[in-house]
Chain A
Amino acid sequence: MPSWPLNQWYIAAYSSEIEEGLLGRTICDEPLVFYRTSEGEVVGLADRCVHRRYPLSLSHLKDDQIICGYHGFTYDKSGSCVAAPAQKRIPRAARVPSFPVHEQDSFVWVWIGDSDLADTALIPRAPWLDSPDYTVVRGREPIQGRYGLLVDNLMDLSHETYLHGGYIGTPEVAETPITTEVDEEANVVYVSRHMDDAECPPFYANSTGIGGRIIRWQDVEYHAPCLYLLHSRIAPAGVLPPEDGPDDKAFHVEVTYGITPETEHSTHDFWMVARDFALGDEKVTEYLATNNHTVVMQDVVALNILEEVVEGEKENYQELSINIDTGGLAARRILKKLIAAGEAPSAAPAAAPAVAGTV
């Protein structure tokens, strides 16, 4: 039984990664191959030729068909084998599984589970990633660790003070109490940390130009299992959002993560920073890209170490949870519930009200 929920949408790639050619990527232990047809549609197929298992991602794309790089079995975009060398009749079984994919908000999402249950309305949104009102920097890092470690990491931002001191961490992050909410039906965990008089970390001082103390709000919205949003509001101390009208005296940064399991012990860490200020300013873009990459790598290094530790200790390891873990514990429980729902024989889409059973 996998440690991630089935019958869920996962971020497989950025749209920009799938242009020409074939992209091979393992998502939830499924080796997949992606490409874009001449019509612009993204196709996701199992990345193993039915003949002798050669990876299709290492093969050739021609006229929207994949020609296996080993003996030339040819597959159309539905995964059906349409030609094989010197063969008059193609066996019916000659097809590779096709996976539902959907492009939205600059992502390519893939459905892992029963294809009949794939409903694109279930995909959570991050519209700023594809909006002219924001400038976005992004990257993707492999983590040699289970995806749950990244969920734990992102749900508790008090670690910023210690792991990311001098970048995004200041004393107030770890010192400010949090408020946690869980929507049992939507499978969303929300964690707010509102610092009304805080030091401005270099990351924000250098990108916004604010000198002096700030109001810093961090509102985490985790849409289990894959999409993590951190709505960050930075304003000079004393500047609250107006009663009505746009909050244009503040700087807004939408820190977004795609948390996609690759295998039981590795994870795709998709990270993005979208800002609503200094739009198109190359220097700010460069600064945020470089610094956020540094911050992401500080987490990656720590999580790679933790994977070795927890794997070495197997089931016997003990943890101690304190108040800062309230959101992380909620996220773990939602994932557990989704895993159980995904395993159920006639699994319904996990966001359906039937799962919660609280009405």
Chain B
Amino acid sequence: MAEPHTPVRADLPPPSRMLTGRTVYRVVWKLNTDVLVGYCWCGVPHEATDPIELWDWLLAHPDTHGPGDAPDGGTPPVGSDSAVRELVKS
């Protein structure tokens, strides 16, 4: 990784991860606060209390790390997103 992971982590409410693409940005609203925690698709988090500022940070982030930093595999999808795909297949 081009930069160290900072220790900030949101107290993640379920669902923990819905979309399964390669480059998924994720923003979690920290429970009982006004703090948003954004995760770049490479896994690096950033805190903000303004969603515009947070999106600006997230979108700039891919330029600050190399293309070799593949996103980690992540957890399997939960919920209806996968159900949609099954229904389409059937």
Judge whether A190 and B19 touch: CB under 8 Å.
Answer: yes
Is B76 at the interface (CB under 8 A from chain A)? no
B residues in contact with A186, CB < 8 Å:
19, 21
Judge whether A181 and B13 touch: CB under 8 Å.
Answer: no
B residues in contact with A233, CB < 8 Å:
80
Is A323 at the interface (CB under 8 A from chain B)? yes
Judge whether B21 and A183 touch: CB under 8 Å.
Answer: yes
Is A128 at the interface (CB under 8 A from chain B)? yes
Bound CA span A138–B46, Å: 41
Bound CA span A184–B83, Å: 21
Judge whether B51 and A325 touch: CB under 8 Å.
Answer: yes
Q: How large is the interface on B (under 10, 10 to 19, 20 to 34, 35 or more residues)?
A: 35 or more
B residues in contact with A182, CB < 8 Å:
19, 24-26
Judge whether A190 and B87 touch: CB under 8 Å.
Answer: no
A residues in contact with B22, CB < 8 Å:
185, 359
Find the B residue at minimum CB distance from A188. Answer: B19
Q: Which of B12, B18, B30, B55 contacts A181 (CB 8 A)?
A: B18
Judge whether B79 and A177 touch: CB under 8 Å.
Answer: no
Give the contact stretch, choosing among A265-273, A295-303, A326-334: A326-334
Q: Which of B14, B34, B55 contacts A330 (CB 8 A)?
A: B55
Is A231 at the interface (CB under 8 A from chain B)? yes
B residues in contact with A356, CB < 8 Å:
23
CB contact list, A219-266 vs B, under 8 A: 219, 221, 229, 231, 233, 252
Q: How large is the interface on A (under 10, 10 to 19, 20 to 34, 35 or more residues)?
A: 35 or more
Judge whether A180 and B31 touch: CB under 8 Å.
Answer: no
A residues in contact with B73, CB < 8 Å:
none
Find the B residue at minimum CB distance from A332. Answer: B55
Bound CA span A321–B48, Å: 13
Is B15 at the interface (CB under 8 A from chain A)? yes
Judge whether B52 and A321 touch: CB under 8 Å.
Answer: yes
Is B88 at the interface (CB under 8 A from chain A)? yes
A residues in contact with B50, CB < 8 Å:
321
Is B44 at the interface (CB under 8 A from chain A)? no
Find the B residue at minimum CB distance from A221. Answer: B81
Judge whether A184 and B41 touch: CB under 8 Å.
Answer: yes
Given contacts A180-B26, A326-B27, A358-B62, contact A333 B55 (CB under 8 A): yes
Seen from chain A, the residues whose Cβ lies within 8 Å of a Cβ on chain B are 125, 127-128, 131, 177-186, 188, 190, 192, 194, 217, 219, 221, 229, 231, 233, 252, 321-323, 325-326, 329-330, 333, 356, 358-359
Seen from chain B, the residues whose Cβ lies within 8 Å of a Cβ on chain A are 12-15, 17-19, 21-31, 34, 36, 41, 49-52, 54-55, 59, 62, 67, 79-81, 83-84, 87-88
